[in-house]
Amino acid sequence: MGYRQVIIKKSDKLRTENNNLVVIKEEKENRIPLEDINFVILEDNQTVITGKLLSSFGEHGICFIACNDKYEPVSIMYPYNYHFKQLENIEYQLNLQENLKEKIWQEIVIHKIENEIAVLCQTSKDERTISILENYTKEVEPGDKTNREGLAAKLYFRSLFGSDFIRFYDDSVNNALNYCYQIIKSSIIRTLSIYGLNTYLGVNHKSKVNNFNLAYDLIEPYRAIADKYVYALVKDDNPELSFELRRQLINILNYPVICENKKCSLEYSIDLLVKSYVKTISSGEVNLSFPKLIE
């Protein structure tokens, strides 16, 4: 598995040679070993890409993300048939009982709210909201039938970003959050594929038109970590994300977290979470490895 995130702002052509990514710009070439790469993000939609390079991305487990004119990630290519026991893991997913799904979702929601509490303890220090969220963690039922996740999110966002903050508005904070979430979700999708899991088969997310239901489930505990990251980075109201800010947002994959009682990068924690998810659905016992903010 690679460790580098490559962002290409502008280039003429991308190709491969001798297991290297070759970036050609104005007749100059830069080479990066494919084995070092885990992500390639292409912002220039005028770049020519060879079919051989796309195939090599798949062979090396590299996730390729293409952006639109606003530099927003809009397309993802991830490895296919990468795991040696893919059919076995998909059978575990297909045979997953509803009561186990509800317990998994209960644990996901609890840890999501716990991470939101940790963010507020480090930022707004809003004791009233923190107290309410702490009570919510004790009230989450299997399947979160009382929607403690949604109730917590409403209070949490306003405490963190201000009482007038509205999620999904076209502003600097929302655009940075969306970008950050997309990077994390792409990493989860890539890791799910590497472990031979079907991304359609979610736990709580069950949309028939969403190819990535499972990634939408597993990203939830990571959202608060992304929120804290964006809170520290975004200091203006410009809805256009600068190249430097986008570069920093991509670097969230290297952000240090705690997982399985040890310090690691956010990206490595995704590997631990997905691995624990495979163990959970194969054993029938919920024992998931969730990321936590470092105090």
Model confidence pLDDT, tens digit, residues 229-264:
999 999 877 888 999 999 999 999 999 999 999 999
**Residue 106 reports pLDDT greater than 80:** yes
Q: Could you tell me the two tokens for 28?
A: 């100059």
Q: How far is CA 29 from CA 46, 47, 49, 180, in A?
A: 17, 14, 14, 29
Do 80 and 193 meet the contact criterion of CB atoms below 8 Å apart?
A: yes
Q: Enumerate residues 6+ apart whose C-beta is below 8 A from 217.
A: 104, 105, 108, 202, 203, 204, 205
Q: What is the reported pLDDT for 55?
A: 93
Res 80: pLDDT: 74
Yes or no: say if 272 and 292 are a contact pair by the CB < 8 Å rule: no
Tell me how far apart the terminal alpha carbons of the chain are, to the nearest angstrom. 29
Quick: pLDDT tens for 129-153.
999 999 999 999 999 999 999 999 9
Chain CA centroid to CA 217, Å: 10
Most confident of 42-46, 73-77, 266-270: 266-270
Q: How would you write the chain as a 3-class SS string?
A: CCCEEEEECCCCEEEEECCEEEEEECCEEEEEEHHHEEEEEECCCCCEECHHHHHHHHHCCCEEEEECCCCCEEEEECCCCCCCCHHHHHHHHHCCCHHHHHHHHHHHHHHHHHHHHHHHHHCCCCHHHHHHHHHHHHHCCHHHCCCHHHHHHHHHHHHHHCCCCCCCCCCHHHHHHHHHHHHHHHHHHHHHHHCCCCCCCCCCCCCCCCCCHHHHHHCHHHHHHHHHHHHHHCCCCCCCCCHHHHHHHHHHHHCEEEECCEEEEHHHHHHHHHHHHHHHHHHCCCCCCCCECCC
Looking at the DSSP bridge assignments, the partners of residue 73 are 67
Confidence band (pLDDT; 50, 70, 90) for 295? confident
- Domain borders along the chain are 4-77, 86-283
Which range (29-33, 57-61, 116-120) has the least confidence? 57-61
Q: What is the pLDDT of residue 2?
A: 76
| CATH number of the 86-283 domain | 1.20.120.920
pTM: 0.90
The pLDDT value recorded for residue 81 is 64
pLDDT at 284 over 80: yes
Percentage of the chain surpassing pLDDT 70? 98
Mean pLDDT on 32-47: 94
Question: Which pLDDT belongs to residue 82?
Answer: 63
pLDDT-wise least confident of 19-23, 105-109, 170-174:
170-174
Q: Is the pLDDT of residue 86 over 90?
A: no
Those residues whose C-beta lies under 8 Å from the C-beta of residue 58, and which sit 6 or more positions away, are: 77, 79, 80, 82
Tell me which CATH code domain 4-77 carries. 3.100.10.20
